[in-house]
Structure 1
Amino acid sequence: MRILFTTWAAPSHLFPSVPLAWAFQAAGHEVRVAAPPNCEAAVNGAGLIAVRAGEVPDVAKGSTGGKLAAWHLQNSWPADWPLRAPSLAPEQRDILRALGEKQVRIAEGMVDDVLAHARAWRPDLVVHDAGSYAGTIAAAVLGAPAISQMWGSAAVLGLEREDLQGDFLPGYRALFRRHGVEPEQGPVRWLDPCPPTLALPSAAPKLPVRFVPYNGPGSHPEWLDRPVDRPRVCITWGVTAGKLAPGAALPAPLLAAAEQLAAGGVEVVLAVTAAQREQLTDLPAGVRAVSGLPLSLLLPSCRAVVHQGGGGTTMTATLAGIPQLVVAPRPEQMLTGARLAASGAGRQLSANELAGGPEAGTLLAKEVSALLEEPGYAAAAAGLRAEMLAMPSPAETVPLLLAETGTGR
């Protein structure tokens, strides 16, 4: 059987699909991954066959310009806001619409190449990143079932719809009609790696799938084999932030917090991009900077992690069973941080709380110290890990998907 995966314009959206793609291959099926050229190396690095789709989109410009600038202002949104999107403020609803329109524009650049390959190769099943509408269209044109892969967000974000749950956006509908089809109500299944406690309730046909960490290729450093003689904490600001601001160093409050924690007897590991690492000189004793080290290797040795609330980092930390401090830059990550805090496995700040000068580093250090000193956080984190381990693995999910879609053979 042939399975066509499609991903959005960032490797971080590819990574959640990789273990499932491996599982299909290991079960004897053919797998290919349609992606923009900037994801081609990541597809190949995962040992998968890449199909180039479109040109390299300007993700940074498309993610921060116009109405989307307000998505990054850390203004407070209502609790569990995806469940009540129609009642959001008009400017918040405008932001969600702009996010959906951005996804439509990226799909417009990919869909012709995806369709050309799909018509030639004739896949039996399409698995697409939840934001990759080109895969949805290809499945509709070929009459193949579509499966949507979520990336660790707490909610099913139907950005292709008005207010996440209304009619389809005009641009989304027009993209389907351009190829002679109408949009369907949704995929056969949404594959959700979130453990039940973190996931928001949804009427979408979700299938829980155990998160198997894949953060890209890397090597195991010798120092990770040494005994840990003091609490180890990871601080990371995410690959996406590095791409949106490629020349920027880590925010100063993170570095100040790292120094204060190290002075208090904590070992701090800064997991950063290569560009960020070049700017991290003269680090204090007890602080180490690493780049290219998969978080799945590092986090099991840590007692806590500080991060932005991205899906990959959140899920990797959840599987490691460690408490998390989410410093959220956007409403989606604020939602993740709030769900973690409600579970008892973490704490949350918004990124604008780090704009207050030197005291911001002290605030961060105190938040991390609370995670280390109060045993309830570790116990709750262990509970989330147990939930995740009880979910079906990608290998167990493959026959379930084949049976549900009627494509198994």
Structure 2
Amino acid sequence: MRVLFSGGLGMPAVLRLVLLARAMQAAGNEVRFCCPARARHRVVRAGLVPVLAGPRQFGRAWRPDLVVHDPLCPDSAAMAAESGVPTIGYLPYARPPLSPRPTVWIDPCPPPLRERPEPGAWQVRCDAWELPGRPAPRLPALALTPRVCVTGAPAGSRPEDRRRARLFRRVAEGVESLGLQLLELTGDDHPWSLLLPGCVAVVHGGDEGVVYAAARFGVSQLVLPAGEDERRAGARLEQAGIGRCLSDDELAGDPSMLRLRFHVAELVNGGRALPEAVRLGLAVARMPQPADLVADIEALVR
């Protein structure tokens, strides 16, 4: 069976597709993978064959039997619609997917974090493929004090980027002023299995990849949302009891250091967030892995 995978611009979404693509290839299927240029080296290192052409152009020429695509990427969604074969889409966390609907949804979101479950969606654990042997950022030495990870600070030059970058710096300063270990990360592609087991809280901007990574490892979360999608993501973390999200009022001004320190200290030392996050991590560990879906996926084209 020929299976065409097509990822969008977000690295975390591409790395989730890589896990399923590897499982399909290991089961004897012929797999090709369309993705942005910056992710192609990851696809190659994963033992997959990347596609240099655009997904629509390649799909017309290769004629796959099945398409697995990112439903937030217009080219991927259009290619899937044109293929005339069964399609599979990974259900997004916060942002509404593009139409048309795939034949089957795969939902990597842990049920406590899903706002409106999709009937009939196939559950899968929210893992992402990590590059083997990649050096991890230098971690603080082991100590009795809790470690807090801060990631997702914008690096752009727009006024709103500079304002949010200042906010992330203030949070980092607040972490250190509480006597906690600080781990600051840049970029959107990290070996979470090495970084998060030693952390008790993660501060981020609401990115889906970080939400899922923290959920897998039972880590509480503080969200500094960049927009409506991230705000919705943060609200669901609050509803599930595993995190906090700064409100519009807090973001509109310049949050006081005292208030930021309170949010961090609450996640680390008090309230129900930490035990709820640990329980969520245990629940995620019991969810199906990508390899568990292979037989049902192959049955779609029989």
TM-score by length of 2: 0.87
- Please say if residues 322 and 381 of structure 1, whose CA atoms lie closer than 8 Å, have aligned partners that are also in contact: yes
**SS at 2:111's partner residue?**
coil
Q: What does residue 201 of structure 1 align with? A: 116
Pick closer, same or farther for the CA change 1:260–1:38 going to 2, 3 Å.
Answer: closer
Pick closer, same or farther for the CA change 1:362–1:295 going to 2, 3 Å.
Answer: farther
Q: What does residue 32 of structure 1 align with? A: 32
Pick closer, same or farther for the CA change 1:24–1:242 going to 2, 3 Å.
Answer: farther
- The Cα of 1:38 is off from its aligned counterpart by 4.2
Q: What is the distance in 2 between the residues matched to 1:9 and 1:257?
A: 28
- Please say if residues 215 and 277 of structure 2, whose CA atoms lie closer than 8 Å, have aligned partners that are also in contact: yes
Q: What is the distance in 2 between the residues matched to 1:343 and 1:260?
A: 25
- The Cα of 1:204 is off from its aligned counterpart by 4.9
Q: What is the distance in 1 between the residues matched to 2:129 and 2:42?
A: 11
Which one-letter code corresponds to 1:332 in the other structure? D
Higher helix proportion (structure 1 or 2): 1
* 1:269 partnered with 2:165: no
Q: What is the distance in 2 between the residues matched to 1:243 and 1:295?
A: 24
* 1:147 partnered with 2:88: yes
Q: What does residue 362 of structure 1 align with? A: 258
Q: What does residue 82 of structure 1 align with? A: none
Q: What does residue 313 of structure 1 align with? A: 210
- Please say if residues 69 and 80 of structure 2, whose CA atoms lie closer than 8 Å, have aligned partners that are also in contact: no
Which one-letter code corresponds to 1:251 in the other structure? A
Q: What does residue 9 of structure 2 align with? A: 9
Q: What does residue 406 of structure 1 align with? A: 301
- The Cα of 1:376 is off from its aligned counterpart by 1.6
- The Cα of 1:235 is off from its aligned counterpart by 0.6
**SS at 2:280's partner residue?**
helix
- Please say if residues 344 and 377 of structure 1, whose CA atoms lie closer than 8 Å, have aligned partners that are also in contact: yes
- Per-residue deviation, residues 166-186 of structure 1 (Å, max 9, x unmatched): xxxxxxxxxxxxxxxxxxx52
- Where do residues 322-341 of structure 1 align in structure 2 (5 Å cutoff)? 322-341=219-238
**SS at 1:233's partner residue?**
strand
Pick closer, same or farther for the CA change 1:314–1:390 going to 2, 3 Å.
Answer: same
Larger Rg: 1
- Where do residues 194-233 of structure 1 align in structure 2 (5 Å cutoff)? 194-214=109-129, 218-220=134-136, 223=139, 227-233=142-148
User: Please, which runs of 5 or more residues in structure 2 have no aligned partner?
Assistant: none
- The Cα of 1:379 is off from its aligned counterpart by 1.3
* 1:186 partnered with 2:127: no
- The Cα of 1:322 is off from its aligned counterpart by 1.0
Q: What is the distance in 1 between the residues matched to 2:292 and 2:207?
A: 26
Q: What does residue 295 of structure 1 align with? A: 192
* 1:235 partnered with 2:150: yes
**SS at 1:251's partner residue?**
helix
- Per-residue deviation, residues 143-202 of structure 1 (Å, max 9, x unmatched): 211000235x147x1444xxxxxxxxxxxxxxxxxxxxxxxx521111111111111224
- Please say if residues 34 and 114 of structure 1, whose CA atoms lie closer than 8 Å, have aligned partners that are also in contact: yes
- Per-residue deviation, residues 354-381 of structure 1 (Å, max 9, x unmatched): 4533x43332221010011115211111
Identity %: 34
- Per-residue deviation, residues 287-325 of structure 1 (Å, max 9, x unmatched): xxxx97423321111011111111100000000101111
Which one-letter code corresponds to 2:62 in the other structure? W
Pick closer, same or farther for the CA change 1:121–1:386 going to 2, 3 Å.
Answer: same
TM-score by length of 1: 0.66
- The Cα of 1:28 is off from its aligned counterpart by 2.2
* 1:44 partnered with 2:58: no
Pick closer, same or farther for the CA change 1:220–1:251 going to 2, 3 Å.
Answer: closer
Pick closer, same or farther for the CA change 1:244–1:202 going to 2, 3 Å.
Answer: farther
- Please say if residues 253 and 364 of structure 1, whose CA atoms lie closer than 8 Å, have aligned partners that are also in contact: no
Which one-letter code corresponds to 2:216 in the other structure? L
How many residue pairs get aligned? The number is: 300
**SS at 2:224's partner residue?**
strand
**SS at 2:263's partner residue?**
helix
- Please say if residues 232 and 267 of structure 1, whose CA atoms lie closer than 8 Å, have aligned partners that are also in contact: yes
- The Cα of 1:345 is off from its aligned counterpart by 0.8
Which one-letter code corresponds to 2:7 in the other structure? T
- The Cα of 1:400 is off from its aligned counterpart by 1.9
Q: What is the distance in 1 between the residues matched to 2:239 and 2:22?
A: 34
